[in-house]
Structure 1
Amino acid sequence: MSKKPYRTLDARPNSESLVKPGELVDVIEVTPLTLNDRRIYNQLLENAWDAIDKPVSHVIQKSMLRGSHNSNDRVGESIERLMSAIVKVEVVWDGEPAVERVQLLGGNVETVRSDGLIEYEIPARLRKIISNSTVFARLQREIMFALSSKYALTLYEIVQKRGNLRWRSSENFSVDDLRGILGVPKGKLTNWSNLKLRAIEPAIAEVNALSDYMVAIDPIKTGRRVTHVELRWWKKDGEGQGAAERALKFSSVGRKAKAQEQEENVQVPVAPSIKPRPAWLEKRGDALKTETYETARLRHPGYDIYYIEGQWRDWSAGMEPPKDPDRAFLAYIRKFAEANPI
């Protein structure tokens, strides 16, 4: 009997983090949103979480959405943009992949008092998507409020959705899809160099400075034109996570300067073609040849080759050592990829 998949609704927010359905991470924005809009929407989802799949109204204090601003004007403007926002979500309909267009927020009532309440609804079609969700991103509240651009927040959510995948550490996107997911307005940053300079590189610098992951986005050309990108991510070691925690304690000005400093000092490509071999794997045996890792990555893009090496070493423990371990590993990862397609 197959194991029932873990539902997103079974995940619980806590004092440090909130949960966002994966279907609402990789959305294509038809109506671009601001950084403040995205933060407020994440808070509205969290506030409604206990009954988010039910046809009920939810209530939240405006002060919880206001952040450091004294005025409620920005909250009202964000609510109106979220009401009018339409996003495209990839779903499965009658067993076939499909695109569903939904509104992010339904009708609502805002009391006039500055310390008043907002009553709001989650649209019916969106409730169904959330109810069926089995993939989610866990967002650290402190990081969400520390990131200073909507592109950085979106990239952070993209990586948080994928970071815990055991044998996957990269994914390819078309440039058009990446622009849509980041929410780049139509007619803006139309060529790759501008998109990279104004949106991608600053977002990478912030996520690398403040989150638990390192991220790299490498261009892929078709002919002379960049048509796709490869997104790669890997967990920071203890020292890297400590540096991120310290960076979060800086003032907002200090955080921005820290991110800019990283961006200046770490130019694209942000990461080596192969991430460093983790310390836990060193105890399992000597490293293979560098070209073996490169070959494995080229033949099987998207898989975490070090995780699979660990599986291989566990599987072969107690057996007679192979005469050619590099060739044996490449044979193992081929069979692993066939059995675990992504």
Structure 2
Amino acid sequence: MAEAKIRTIAARPNAESLIKPGELVDLIEVTPLSLNDRRIYNQLLENAWEAIDKPVTHVIAKSTLRGSHNSNDRVGESLERLMSAIVKVAVIWDGEPAIERVQLLGGNLESGRADGLLEYEIPARLRKIIRNSQVFARLQREVMFALSSKYALTLYEMVQKRGNLKWKASEKFSLDALRGIMGVPKGKLTNWSNLKLRAIDPAVAEVNALSDFMVEIAAIKTGRAVTHVELRWWRKDGDASGAADRALQFSKVGRRVRAEGKAENIVPEPAPELRPRPAWLNSRGVPLQTSTYETARLRHPGFDIYFVEGEWRSWSAAKEPAKDPDKAFLAFFRSYAEKNPI
């Protein structure tokens, strides 16, 4: 008896990751989107997830989408691009392969207040695609926000969609298909050497540095011209996964330098020592692991980690105790930093 497939809408996001339907990973952008557009769209999907296949409106705080930027202008611009974006999704229609053209985002209502709300809708045709989806990518939030280009984020999503397939470790794409999925604008990076140098190689380096997988894209020639590529992926071993975790703690410039193999030219400044935990926190709960405080300090420079711990203790006081307090604190810290940018 064949094993029943899990429906995508049955998968659940958690404190560290979000869900993206596979059909929205390998899509062709008729209207190219920016890195920020893609991040915001992933957040809108996550926020709507509990009722994403229902004809309802969804509400989210603009500050959540703004992230570390103090201006709402970029959010509004991204929303308008997402509303005007038309994508082509490969679907099955009456048992045959077909292309469905859909809009990514429906109508929305944005508060004029900087700390206001955004109300938005998922278009009906897109809801149907999501409802019928049986393949998805689980995206780590930290990695999504650490990647520095839309090409790297797209490649990461492609690998996360495929990484857990036990029967498959590679996939071939025509060069045109890869360009479409990665969102390369028409007329840009038209030859293989430029595409590889400007988009593919930097994306591969970042995904290899920050994700749980190693990936490579190999050229396939027809005659003398590159016409196809083969995407290959494999899960990292323990040492490589640890290196990816450490890479997430570096600044964006530091990550790029290390991904490009130029770290030997950088002399890092020593980080200041972690100051003692204040006595007033002792009555709020037992201390977390020292490594947790160090991680929080490295990920969120400029924040008072003990003040945020106090906020977390107050927020979680009426809730069930966390199974892993250290992970729960780091997840809360990430959300707190996004909502209260320095």
Secondary structure of 1:165's partner?
Answer: coil
Q: Which residue of structure 2 aligns with residue 51 of structure 1?
A: 51
CA deviation string 1:133-192 (max 9, x = no partner): 000000000000000000000000000000000020000000000000000000000000
2:21 is aligned to 21
After superposition, residues 232-271 of structure 1 pair within 5 angstroms as 232-261=232-261
Please name the residue that 1:109 is paired with. 109
**What is the TM-score with the length of structure 1 in the denominator?**
0.76
Secondary structure of 2:196's aligned partner: helix
User: Using the alignment, how far apart are the partners of 1:3 and 1:223 within structure 2?
Assistant: 42
C-alpha displacement at 1:262, in angstroms?
7.2
Whether contact under 8 Å (1:205, 1:263) holds in the other structure is: no
SS of the aligned residue for 1:31 comes to coil
Q: Which amino acid letter does the alignment assign opposite residue 161 of structure 1?
A: K
User: What letter corresponds to residue 80 of structure 1 in structure 2?
Assistant: E
Q: Does residue 147 of structure 2 align to residue 144 of structure 1?
A: no
Identify the residue that residue 292 of structure 1 maps to in structure 2: none
Contact 1:209 1:262 in 2 (8 A): no
Per the TM alignment, residue 257 of structure 1 is displaced from its structure 2 partner at its CA by 1.3
Q: CA deviation at 1:255?
A: 1.2
Aligned amino acid, residue 63 of structure 1: S
What letter corresponds to residue 139 of structure 1 in structure 2? L
The unaligned stretches of length 5 or more in structure 2 are 265-342
| Separation of aligned partners in 2, 1:246 and 1:2 | 41
TM-score (norm 2): 0.76
Partner of 2:299: none
RMSD: 1.2
In the alignment, which residue of structure 2 is the partner of 1:199? 199
Unaligned runs of 5+ in 1: 265-342
Count of aligned positions: 264
Equivalences for 1:1-342 in 2 at 5 Å?
2-261=2-261
Alpha carbons of structure 1 residues 17 and 232: separation in structure 2 relative to 1, 3 Å: same
- How far apart in 2 are the matches of 1:263 and 1:181? 31
Percentage of pairs with the same residue: 79
Structure 1 residues 225 and 262: alpha-carbon distance in aligned structure 2, compared to 1, 3 A threshold? farther
Aligned CA distance change for structure 1 residues 82 and 263 (closer, same or farther; 3 Å): farther
Q: What's the counterpart of residue 295 of structure 2?
A: none
Which whole-Å deviations, capped at 9, do the CAs of 1:61-119 have from their partners, x for residues lacking one?
00000011100000000000000000000000011110000000000000100000000
Amino acid at match of 2:196: K
Inter-CA distance 262–125: structure 2 relative to 1 (3 Å threshold): farther
Distance 1:217 1:251 in 2: 26
